[in-house]
Structure 1
Amino acid sequence: MIEIVTVSTEADLADAFAIRMQVFVEEQGVPAEIEIDELDRTADHLLARLDGQPVGTGRLTVRADIGVLGRLAVSGKSRGTGLGAALVRAIEERARERGLTAVELHSQTQAIGFYERLGYTAFGEPDWDAGIEHIWMRKGLGC
Structure 2
Amino acid sequence: MSEITVRVADWHRDNAELRRIRDSVFVAEQSVPPELEWDAEDTDALHFIAEEGDYPVGTARLLPDGHIGRVSVLKDWRGLKVGEKLMQAVIAEAEKRGLHQQMLTAQVHATPFYERLGFRIVSDEYLDAGIPHVDMVRTSQ
TM-score w.r.t. the length of structure 2 is 0.94
Structure 2 match to 1:74: 73
Structure 1 match to 2:38: 36
Structure 2 match to 1:125: 124
**1:13 CA drift (Å):** 2.5
Counterparts of 1:112 and 1:9, CA distance in 2? 27
Alignment root-mean-square deviation, CA: 1.1
Amino acid across the alignment from 1:93: A
Residue 114 in structure 1 maps to residue 113 in structure 2: yes
3-state SS of paired residue (1:55): strand
Structure 2 match to 1:56: 58
CA contact (8 A) 1:105 1:136 kept: yes
Structure 2 match to 1:19: 21
CA contact (8 A) 2:125 2:132 kept: yes
Query: What fraction of aligned residue pairs are identical, expressed as a percent?
Result: 38
Superposed CA deviations along residues 12-57 of structure 1, whole A, max 9, x for unmatched, are 2321121001000000000012111011010000001102111000
Residue 93 in structure 1 maps to residue 92 in structure 2: yes
Q: Higher strand fraction: Structure 1 or Structure 2?
A: 1
Superposed CA deviations along residues 67-102 of structure 1, whole A, max 9, x for unmatched, are 111000000110000010111110001101211111
CA contact (8 A) 1:92 1:103 kept: yes
Aligned residues: 139
3-state SS of paired residue (1:125): coil
TM-score w.r.t. the length of structure 1 is 0.93
Amino acid across the alignment from 1:20: R
CA contact (8 A) 1:13 1:45 kept: no
